[in-house]
Amino acid sequence: MAPVLKKYKAAAVNAEPGWFDLQESVRRTIHWINEAGKAGCKLIAFPELWIPGYPFWAWTLNYQETLPFIKKYRQNSLPSDSEEMIRIREAARANKIYVSLGYSEVDLASLYMSQVLISPTGDIINYRRKIKPTHTEKLIFGDGTGDTTASVVQTEIGRVGQLNCWENMNPFMKSYAVSLGEQVHIAAWPLLPDVSVRKEPDPYTNTADPNADIVTPAYAIETGTFTLAAWQTITDEGLKVNFPEGKQLPPREIFNGHGRIFGPDGQNLVPHPDKDFQGLLFVDIDLDECLISKSLADFGGHYMRPDLIRLLVDDKRKDLVVRQEGADGGIAYTRTIDRVGLSKPLSRSPKSEE
């Protein structure tokens, strides 16, 4: 399917999530979808774990201190087959907009760092889970499976892809995405402090600055894509609910102002947001602007040597319990997207919600 729209407006969210509050998180999600729709956008990109906010406290608190936070986080994470997800899908349909949403997904007793791409009809056209949570994230989230790995899907606005946080730095994930001809990329980022508070031996790459201004434009350059970097922000009120009572709070400014949008050649396309900015970053996309960068260096095509270097991708789900299928003793697989209910079409008539 060739793109119907080559030129259109898109938005990246640079705002505070509804910390530990599923209903408030959904309200804010729908609010920004509506705002992007009013602005005439065809695509809106949300940050990593936008619902119910990124658990950055896992990097700063000790084990005992994190336990109450983990419980509350689990209680306010988003099941994929929930009424809340239906409301978000309905908002996408009401605004006729593509929505890239990052959320903490509840699946039975486990959480996953998930992303969906919702179509303007409210259908889920891509569903993925971060393949490997980073460091302390492993204490909260599980790994993605083979059938939740793909990051790029063909749409009416081009081949759109999504990755979470350091997946945007992972050379194998970039190779996979570029092999699928990605044209527009959502780099979904969490809440990270800037380099001003870095302490040795914590690496420079574990701060916001290099991820916003090195990793993200590098992704755009290496893949030849428009790259929308959606970031979370935080207020003083948000800090209070993310730390135990009596704990000294860091200044909010160190976490904010990192939203970015880059062109296919790595050029910055929007002014850096102010530290207290809460809102949307807008960009005018022209898919033909990808042509020159890709004609010079298409690492998914003419500028690669598959006879020398290849990437093997296993896209099957591996279940703990499997069923035999047929007389030949084969294994029956149930796609994760079917099992969690995301493949079901919306059955309600469209409605608007603020």
* Residues classed as catalytic: 48, 130, 165
How far is Cα 7 from Cα 18, in angstroms, rounded to an integer?
32
**Token code pair at residue 174:** 């970039």
Query: Cβ(90)–Cβ(122) under 8 Å?
Result: yes
**Token code pair at residue 204:** 């420079």
**Token code pair at residue 110:** 């486990």
Q: Where are the alpha helices (DSSP H) in 180-311?
A: 208-210, 216-223, 236-241, 290-296
What DSSP state is assigned to residue 344? S
Plot region of 27 (φ>0 → left; ψ -120 to 50 → alpha; else → beta): alpha
How far is Cα 316 from Cα 122, in angstroms, rounded to an integer?
26
Upper half-sphere CA count for residue 60 (Cβ side, 13 Å): 19
Q: Give the three-class secondary structure for 14.
A: strand
Q: Give the three-class secondary structure for 43.
A: strand
**217 CB contacts (<8 Å, ≥6 apart)?**
227, 260, 262, 266, 268
Q: What single letter denotes the amino acid at residue 200?
A: E
Q: Give the three-class secondary structure for 116.
A: strand
Burial of 280 (0-12, 13-18, 19+ CB in 10 A): buried
List C-alpha distances in Å: 289 to 26, 152, 261: 34, 19, 14
Upper half-sphere CA count for residue 42 (Cβ side, 13 Å): 17
